[in-house]
Chain A
Amino acid sequence: MRTQTKAALGIGAALAAILAALIILLVVNPDGDEPAASAETGEDSVLVRSDSHVLGEEGDSGVTFVEFLDFECEACGAVFPVVEQLREDYSGRVTFVARYFPLEGHFNSERAARAVESAARQGEFEAMYQKMYETQSTWAEAQVPKDDVFRGFAEELGLDLEQYDADYASEEVLARVRKDVADGESLGVQGTPTIYVDGELFQPESVQDFYDTLDEALAK
């Protein structure tokens, strides 16, 4: 056999093996399509971990509104003001939980999540979360690191910058963000925002949908 033929066969075999592996992964994997339709919401469930960040105060009805979010995602930025309004309108009744789900396609989204988590370590989760969305249009969609911008936010919030820098760079904070991502992935979350109301996957089409769904959950 000619060397060229052997080489072609070798490369061809490697190609076939990789392709077959990818196809098998895609076909065999059942939860590749949609996020799980519903999930447990009890204490320390995949949806709400004991260390998950609650926005504001916990509600007393037991109804939870869990959002897997990406600070760089435009759709999340669009949902942000709605959620802020909901938090006001359902304050004290519904528990709003934010889960990190930085998407790979966004250059700065994991950095943003680390910045927010670093702020959370100084008790400023909510302020930093709001800051990220309020300023999203100024830093999102870039292909260069925005560490300095985020550090600027930390400074504006009056955080201890030495501590912030240490947290921002720490393995621990990164692991905390990735843990949320892993929970999301285990539910089959693929995009953001993915929202669960009372453990049920909620796919809103209008702002009114948010109110209808929450009212319904509260009426139960």
Chain B
Amino acid sequence: MPEGITVCLLVEGSYPFITGGVSAWVQELIAALPHVLFKLFTISPAAKQVLRYELPQNVVAHRDIVLNEKARSRGRLAGGRAAFVTAIRAMHAAFASQSDPCLEEVVALMPPGSFPFEDSVREEEAWEMIVTANAEHNPVYPFSEYFWSWKSSHDMVLRIMAEELPEADLFHAVCTGYAGLAAVTAKLRTGRAFLLTEHGLYHKEREMEIKRAQFVKGYQRDMWIAMYNGISRLSYRYADVVVSLFEQNRRRQIEMGADEDKATVIPNGIDIPRFSSIVRRKRDGFHVGLVGRVVPIKDIKTYILTAKIVAGWIPGTTFWCIGPIDEDQAYFEDCRSLVESFQLTDSFKFTGKADVRSFYEFLDVLLLTSVREAQPLVILEAFAAGLPVVSTRVGNVPELLDYDERFLASSKDAEKLALAVRYVHGHPDEMRAVSAKNRDKVDRFYDKTEVFRRYGAMYTTLSGKGAEWPG
């Protein structure tokens, strides 16, 4: 029996406290590799959150830290405050010149447990660094605004870097950001491997949030965006393997500093038999379904508008909105009123949380109206169940749909989506052929078992333990 592998899994703002795509993936990964011991290190915005997942038995430890919470320093900086500030300054200079910053020196000077929250501003050189940066970037607005932004961003970074991570054979971060930074630090301290998996692109998601936020103003926006780009670049640079879900994101990771030879694609996978075993039963009428939460990112209003157009063209169509309705009450109310106003109450159904398989039995087409997706599992599920799919052109969807413009539309283009649904309705024979091709594609590329087998193999290689992979 080979020696077991222990993986420290670093997760930020999701598993096991928040449900969603990444969380579900983490849960499945852990469950799929029962011979691997997992130590969870999670980074949360608030303390004492309720667990939304039952942790599998091979999770042997779980430590949650709150990003904004100050920890009590248990150690002192090696080499003193001045040397530390000099190293930080060199790192800033590297970021500013777009060259690769070296974190080795900063980490070497910062033993685990030494939280230099105050040192970073009390040292004369540090103070001068802040004043100089303010003069350069923010000279006409109050210094206090700049100072506190600088301080809070650095406090969070230092909080993460000073944390002592659980002992493990390798560190696997499920995003860049603070989780990735913690993994970089752990790698530099222990010499153990760092595996990075990104479902979306963390820095792009943060950038989008910051740009939309009304409370982050002027230079502060640039500063936060630059910081998130910076820490993502660190993850890409130091990771031993960088995994993305699809090629387009892999290219972006390489643009941000990931080594081309270390960047690889492992797509999402599904439990194929769970969906391919569904027996399709034709129901009277035509049935369109959207599987997703009722939240703005899924753009349910565009679905409703599409429904209104399709209802005019194909009488007797029923529209199913299959997913939780309680995540954004105001949005759900607005959608519900819109359905009423369009006089679709009899034909448009909000199911709430439900077992999607019972709907895949009779749906004639799956419609996705999201404005943002990475690699939507619902499309793979629909493919496995034998359903045609119509979707907005987001994330990896065009590739999944073979760039077939008959089934793709721009976000919010209800008319084009409706035309695509009408096409599906009008070409049942062709749809059978398309569905067979899609099912074959899922079989070949998106089998969950194969996806997690690849992770198991990577764990074996990166841990250097050479444990055999069962099967």
User: Do the two chains bind?
Assistant: no
Chain B interface residues (CB < 8 Å from chain A): none
